Amino acid sequence: MKSLNLTALLLAAATATAAAQQADIEVDSLETIAVAPPAEPAEALSSSEPAQLEEIVVTAQKRSQSLQEVPISVTALDGGFIRETGAADLADVALYVPNVRVDADDLGSPQLFIRGFGTNAFNPSFESSVGFVQDDIFYGRPGYFTESMYDVDRVEVLRGPQGTLFGKNTIAGVFNVTTKNPTDTFSSDGRVTYGSFNTQRIDAGAGGMFADWGGARVAGLYRKEDGQLRNTFLNRDEEALEQKAARLKFRLFPFDSVTSDLMFQASDTSAPFWPYQLFKLDDDTRGYLEAFDAGVEDNPTNFRTQSDTAGFINKGSQTLGLRTQWAIGDIGSVHNSNAVLVLAGSRFHINQLNELDVSPADIARLDSHEHHEQLSAELRFAGETDTLFGLGDKVEFVAGGFVYDSRYQLRASINAGADIGSYLLTRDFCQLAGLPPGICGDGSNVSLPGLPIFGDITAPLIGPDNYAFDYLQDTLSIAGFGQATWHITERWAVTPGVRINREQKDVDSRGTPNCRLAVGDNPPCVISTLLMANAYDQRGLQRNEFDVSPKLVLQYFADTGVNLYGSYARGYKSGGFNSLSYTGEDLEFRPETADTFELGAKSEFFDRTLRFNATLYRTKFTDLQVLAFNGVFFDVSNAASATSQGLEGDFLWLTPWQPLQISGSFGLLDATYDDYRDAPAPVRDANGNLQIGALQDLSGKRIAFAPRQTASLTPQLSFPLPLGLGGRLAGDVIYQGDQFTDADLDPNTFVPAYTIYNARLTIANDDESLSLTIGGTNLGDKRVLNQVIDATFFPGTYFAQQANGRQLFVAIAAQF
């Protein structure tokens, strides 16, 4: 997509009123870890009134209610807190949320895990286990998680399953993002940030009501950074990134009781690709690669890599939505009734070229193009009655229907590089091909040299050579849902709910070898032979699924400020077909389901100066969808059942010393496979011997991406300064427990526990209209690996992805 032009966006939004939108989702906030907005320092110190926590009104159950009445495990971060911490994306936000992990370094295939469960989206067949909703619009591809995050009012994380009200593919939970809306009077705000590694960020928004019949808000983002990972072979930054985005919201009042919000937004992101480093090179692989670059190395924590392909990823989206709310009022015995209609349409694309061997040798590349289009509509009706057939107290309810129609297309190819001929004469290829050890050698000598000259000689003979994937998927989901809370007495309430969903997927899938010798259905092409792939053409594939997701909650409201709840909920993630199959066999995989029991407490103490919420849970997953590495690429299957159980909570304390407030979170997680007998085994056994394609029994073992403990602590001190200024000094202590980062639980993919420290100082005038923030993240420069996976083409070697080191930033913000 071409660079965004703000004038063009405004014109497009103004003329595109035939489609769909949303804007002001009723969700005001969920439990907020940071006071939002932060207290004005000078005023806070001089006030004689004791501070109290403000009541938070939420619509986590798609109707307005107090946070303390919401029987869901929820954490939310206020937009002001997000900006002050310097968070640039949802991965940064997730550090403050217990039992949640977001890995967004792969912009096209982010990985999200809640309570240890999530989806490796590298194979685009998989739909995310964590739903993404922004401004009441459901987005159906994982890549939307890495779209531009700006002009945000709050980010809410609802732990799953959330299938009753939010639908399919929320089996692990939902990220619910709400952006700012037009204010009653004109207002504007902006922030300019500059930081380490040439990080530049400008985001701003302005708007308000221009007449009694409507108003508007426009917002935009420009973000650019070089990143820390340096490619010394190509002399370029592999984590460089540029994002441009804009959003326009109209709020219209066509009738006294009707509010319509029209929204158009677009974003464009470009970056090099991939951000990986080699790890644990063996002698023969090192000897082969040193022939291409004498400086090749395998230190995974030095922010250096040596790949030869100038890869890239370009991604972007355009969304148009319309949200209309009609305040109906009383209808017979139903009071405060209202209807909401949300219509939305979105397009999303990813074009990428990345190197599959992450080395200075040109062995193979992945050229991939994804296009996604979706249309959605949700109509819901909410209200309340005085009793249920004369029994008990009031009943609050919401019911409605949802339709989602999408088309996803993938065209990708694995292309042979210029050095593929030399690779075919290496010990690594010999081992992958399963040839006898006597031919491959024992690694103590270079029995198969694999010299670069062999690639130069064979390249003209091999010519263009690739294996291509062509995948088309149409999805239609139709659901009806309903939920009601019956207040049996003043203290007791029960909430039943259910969602009935029917889905149909129609798929055409094809794999094709292409090369100079392409004669017949399965020609002897180099890449297809290396991948053990053959031609297939599967058209007219179809899946029809029917699911019922029930929910039942029992609540108790006490006089002490402690409200308790117990709940049961079921959710599911739909099945599908493998879009990256090499053989066309075993394409289909089943849906996975989850059943969760929770016991939770919502509490406020000490004259409403301490809010503490915690949840004890147990979740059982069945038919878990997994990716298994086969030595070259990933296969898709239903392979396991698993259980996750633990405790999570967060708190906000306005301490007796009024300038100090403390917030924090904690999570305890025990997530294990119940039954996973045919799991992929590490590529090397405990003695270092290769066992390519071997299986193992992981029943009873801890699953990957499931740290046993996570925690964060954020004290914030407000103090006065001369000239009517005030200051805030805040710091973060963020702890992540140890975890495996690959499904085979290879010890080499184990990441030990670590703690990082952040800090920031904000100086602002008395009304917070102008502020300066100086801060830093990972101040101890802790070197941490986000993920370690088996390397393609080099058995026994790994690809490592490194988390950010120390970064400093300065930001100037203004609001009027």
Q: Which residues pair with 611 in a beta bridge?
A: 604, 652
**What is the SS3 assignment for 41?**
helix
Instruction: Measure the CA–CA gap between 774 and 186, rounded to whole angstroms.
Output: 29
Instruction: Measure the CA–CA gap between 352 and 264, rounded to whole angstroms.
Output: 26
**What is the SS3 assignment for 146?**
helix
Pick the closest to residue 76 from 100, 46, 52 (CA basis): 100
Instruction: Measure the CA–CA gap between 661 and 730, rounded to whole angstroms.
Output: 10
DSSP H or E segment with residue 421: helix 420-423
459-471 burial string, b = 16+ CB within 10 Å, else e? beebeebbbbbbb
Residue with tokens 């917002």: 219
Q: What does the DSSP 8-state code read for residue 144?
A: G
Instruction: Measure the CA–CA gap between 621 and 568, rounded to whole angstroms.
Output: 14
**In this structure, what token pair is assigned to residue 641?**
């059942």
**In this structure, what token pair is assigned to residue 654?**
């306005």
**What is the SS3 assignment for 801?**
strand
Instruction: Measure the CA–CA gap between 213 and 251, rounded to whole angstroms.
Output: 8
What residue ranges do the domains of the chain occupy? 6-417+472-514+541-678+719-731+762-815
Pick the closest to residue 20 from 462, 309, 347, 432 (CA basis): 347
Pick the closest to residue 236 from 200, 293, 274 (CA basis): 274
Give first-to-last CA distance, the chain, whole Å.
33
Pick the closest to residue 565 from 614, 520, 505, 605 (CA basis): 614
Instruction: Measure the CA–CA gap between 93 and 79, rounded to whole angstroms.
Output: 10
Q: Which residues pair with 716 in a beta bridge?
A: 661, 730
Residue 453 φ/ψ, nearest 5 degrees: -60, -30
How many CB atoms within 10 Å of residue 563?
A: 23
Question: The whole model's pTM is what?
Answer: 0.90
Instruction: Measure the CA–CA gap between 482 and 504, rounded to whole angstroms.
Output: 22
Residue 777 φ/ψ, nearest 5 degrees: -120, 150
What is 6-417+472-514+541-678+719-731+762-815's CATH number? 2.40.170.20
Model pLDDT, residue 133: 92
How many CB atoms within 10 Å of residue 754?
A: 18
> What number of CA atoms fall less than 13 Å from residue 342's CA on the CB side?
22
Instruction: Measure the CA–CA gap between 443 and 439, rounded to whole angstroms.
Output: 11
Model pLDDT, residue 27: 35
Model pLDDT, residue 32: 39
**What is the SS3 assignment for 11?**
helix
How many CB atoms within 10 Å of residue 139?
A: 24
Instruction: Measure the CA–CA gap between 766 and 770, rounded to whole angstroms.
Output: 9
Successive 10-residue mean pLDDT values, the chain, 816 residues: 36 34 35 40 48 73 73 84 84 88 84 87 82 93 89 88 86 91 93 96 96 95 96 96 97 94 97 92 90 94 96 97 96 94 97 95 95 97 91 92 97 94 87 75 54 74 89 97 94 95 96 81 82 92 95 92 93 92 90 95 92 95 80 71 95 95 95 91 84 88 94 96 95 96 92 96 94 96 93 92 95 94
**In this structure, what token pair is assigned to residue 637?**
């299957």
Instruction: Measure the CA–CA gap between 328 and 259, rounded to whole angstroms.
Output: 12
Instruction: Measure the CA–CA gap between 128 and 118, rounded to whole angstroms.
Output: 7
How many CB atoms within 10 Å of residue 55?
A: 11
Instruction: Measure the CA–CA gap between 741 and 751, rounded to whole angstroms.
Output: 7
Instruction: Measure the CA–CA gap between 150 and 153, rounded to whole angstroms.
Output: 9
DSSP symbols for 52-96? -PPP-EE-TTSS-EEGGG--S-EEEEEHHHHHHHT--SHHHHHTT
- Contacts (Cβ under 8 Å, ≥6 apart) of 173: 100, 114, 115, 130, 131, 157, 158, 159, 160, 161, 162
